[in-house]
Homo-oligomer: A and B are copies of this chain.
Amino acid sequence: MYSVCVRGHMMIAHSFRGELFGPAQRLHGATYVVDTEFRAPELSLEGVVVDIGRATQALTAILEGLNFSNLDDDPAFSNQNTTTEFLARTVFERMAERRARGELGPGSERLVSMRVTLHESHVAWAAYEAFLT
């Protein structure tokens, strides 16, 4: 299995509901450094897993939709704690939608799975991975 991964980042504000979160119930924020890994069993004729230019453009567009915002005000996340693991899935699903619309270019139908990792600090990260359909 081959993988290719591209990195971006976003800087957001949010707060969490639930005693579990202690002081993180207050409005705070995070820089998320976001790795998006694409996997395919074979390479294209050009020798790639996915067009890295298009993959980077898609990731940038997804992150721009979240960057410099307060996620508490985003209708997409109403009644939802935007934890790091939840946001990893959000980025995953938005990338999967872009792939389904053909934005990752010819050959991206070969992709079998993706893994999205959000680094929230030098001591913690979360990820979501799944097969693609």
8 more contacts with CB within 8 A, not counting A6-B123, A33-B121, are A1-B129, A2-B126, A3-B129, A5-B125, A7-B122, A20-B48, A29-B31, A47-B83
Report the interface size for chain A: residues with CB under 8 A from the other chain.
63
Measured CA separation A20–B3 after assembly (Å) = 18
Residue A127 contacts which of B2, B8, B43, B105 (CB distance < 8 angstroms)? B2
Q: Report A21 CB to chain B, min CB distance, Å.
A: 7
The answer to whether B69 and A26 have CB atoms under 8 Å apart is yes
Measured CA separation A96–B82 after assembly (Å) = 27
Residue A70 contacts which of B27, B53, B128 (CB distance < 8 angstroms)? B27
Q: Which residues of B contact A82 (CB under 8 A)?
A: 47
The answer to whether A130 and B31 have CB atoms under 8 Å apart is no
The answer to whether B27 and A126 have CB atoms under 8 Å apart is no
Q: A29-B30, A70-B28 are in contact. Are A5 and B124 (CB under 8 A)?
A: yes
